[in-house]
Amino acid sequence: MTLYIEPDEESIPECPNCGNKLVEIVYGLVGYDVGEKAMNGELFLGGCMVSDNDPIYHCNYCRRSYYENLKDYIDEPNNWDEEDIEVLDDVSESLKDADKELINYMTGKKED
């Protein structure tokens, strides 16, 4: 499991392309709390394969991953089409319903 230490806000640079605040890229197997931060856009998951030449910052607006020098970057392609987004929305709603059912079961509440 990857140990994630939250960076000092002032140490995270702005995107050289659009000026928005970059987020750190976290590599490795992450826990729920780190996954939740990624879902909220507070950090970016770089995958479980780690090398000595990985980008360290990501711009959620430009979809670029930057190396330490902030001059070199990788463009993240947008591979999502409308059908993919609809499927993700459906899965998200199903998970919300499952969460409600589990909470009701664990607390002994009956569904309205």
Boundaries of domain holding 64: 1-77
105 versus 14: the higher-pLDDT residue is 14
How high is the pLDDT of residue 107? 79
- Give 16's pLDDT tier (boundaries 50, 70, 90): very high
Number of domains in the chain: 2
Give the whole-angstrom CA distance, residue 94 versus residue 91. Answer: 5
Give the whole-angstrom CA distance, residue 33 versus residue 53. Answer: 26
Task: Give yes or no: residues 34 and 67 share one domain.
Answer: yes
The answer to whether the pTM exceeds 0.85 is no
**43 burial class (0-12, 13-18, 19+ CB within 10 angstroms)?**
buried
Task: Give yes or no: residues 2 and 41 share one domain.
Answer: yes
Residue 23 reports pLDDT greater than 90 = yes
Task: Give yes or no: residues 68 and 86 share one domain.
Answer: no
What is the per-residue pLDDT across 36-95, written as a single tens digit (0 to 9) for each?
888 888 999 988 888 888 999 999 888 899 999 999 888 876 656 677 667 777 777 777
